[in-house]
Structure 1
Amino acid sequence: MYTYNTGLNSKGWGLLVSGSSRWSDEGYVPGTYYSSGSYLMSIEKKWNETHRFNFMILGAPTVQGRQGIAIQETYDLTGDNFYNPYWGYQTQNDGSLKKRNARTRDNHKPYMTLGHYWTVSDKLEIQSNLYAITGKTGNTNLNWYGANDPRPDYYKYLPSYLLNDQGTLSGSQIITNENEYNDLTALWQTQDPNTTQLNWDGMYNANYKNLFTQNNVGGNPDSSVTGNRSKYIVEEYRLDPRHFGLNSFGKYQIKDNQQINFGIHISRYMSKNYRMINDLLEVILGGC
């Protein structure tokens, strides 16, 4: 953390700046990470003995990989109550493997304010502020169409899916394929990442092999676009706030033991809530 404060100089100007950062490549829960910073800048001008002006901006941009909630069977198989199905390994350009989390949170909503401090008299003081809050909050998630469910803890990918209930009085179960059941159970118990985690490379390959031609583009029968159509994407749920307001507060000292406080607050809040594509997973369309 770094902070610098000039105090008021002889011309009535003052500056305060502060910043900090903290991060973690991975938290206690596998696949989670955290990167956050904070900043503050305040500029003040003392106009005279009765008027002071101040501008301030502050914020804390944060990006983090999130932890998932899985069913009890996955916790029992892995022997790990911190099992996280949201991440998987992705092959990098140099051939190395890197953990990637499908559910990330990206938040940054800076706060700005312009203030006026007015000492009307020894008995009356008024403080007024204009403020604005903007920015975004984004949460990513996998989505897919015409493809297998990519979630490793999907019920069809668990050993229990291979069990059938005969419906007898004892409620006993038979195993449809004992070898397959034992092999799958062993993969979960050893926490094989090809079984227990997301398969990013598999999703990229599925998109790469999905050649598709879209005809009648824009209503034109002679227009078409050919390219790899995404079966898997990373989408983002966005909330973009726009909050503006004015508040003004004052106090009037009637006597030593009597004081009147008054004020007004006006605000307007708007937000855009929508979904957008965050990553097509290497799909690039071309025209023809």
Structure 2
Amino acid sequence: MKKVLFAGLFLAISLTATAQYQQIVFFDMDRSDQADFESKMENYWKGVSEYRVANNEDVINTLMLKRVGVADDNQGKYCMILNVEDAEHFDGNSWAESVDAALKIPIEHASVFNGSSVTISLVTVGKFESWWSNGESNYYVVNSARPKNLEAFITENKESFGPYFEKASKKGKDNRSSWGIVSSVLPANQDHYTCYTYDGFATYSDALEMLSYKDNADAPKDLMEIWNGSTMAENMPNGFQKTIVWKKMWEARK
């Protein structure tokens, strides 16, 4: 039963290059169980993830992220991430096959759920709309949104903001090392975000610098021209629903 449960958990988020679909599994727990959770993820489940990535052509990578700060919602303290090429991957059972092949101890000893407060607080599925990468990202600023006009929001990010940040990053004028926009597939609730953007950074200080208040007068002129010509202010008058900073704990990739 434990193996069947775990087989459905570790699916995908696309924070890197070629992944097309994502599923994010969020974990929550008492502070007293965090050290054991991190140890088991590092010592047992990372190896299973590495096997899965190496033995499935459509699996790009798996990441383990830890939330920076205090969790006050259903997005928990950690999330497990897998990037895949297409949605057809989810029709199979590659995780269970990887557990059978790569887990070196009985699953009941490796389980993060046995005798602990660990719970799965949320599972989401999304599809990448646009992304770029320009170096290693160790921290991610994730902005969830529910714009009035989703198509307009995605289009403006794909055609204007994303390319601007990529060009500035490659010129060394912006600290972002990656960026992307993901549309939400599941859950389809009215109170759930319909998309999110992420900004990747090499260091925590770079992430904090991006989040810090800045006067519009100090913003680059060409960026303000993009903003003033967009529908962002009308489309999301109250801004993003939530902004969370995540730290990368480890990654399994080809």
Provide TM-score, normalisation by structure 1. 0.21
Structure having the higher helix fraction is 2
- Bigger fraction of residues in strand: 1
The alignment's TM-score, normalised by the length of structure 2, stands at: 0.23
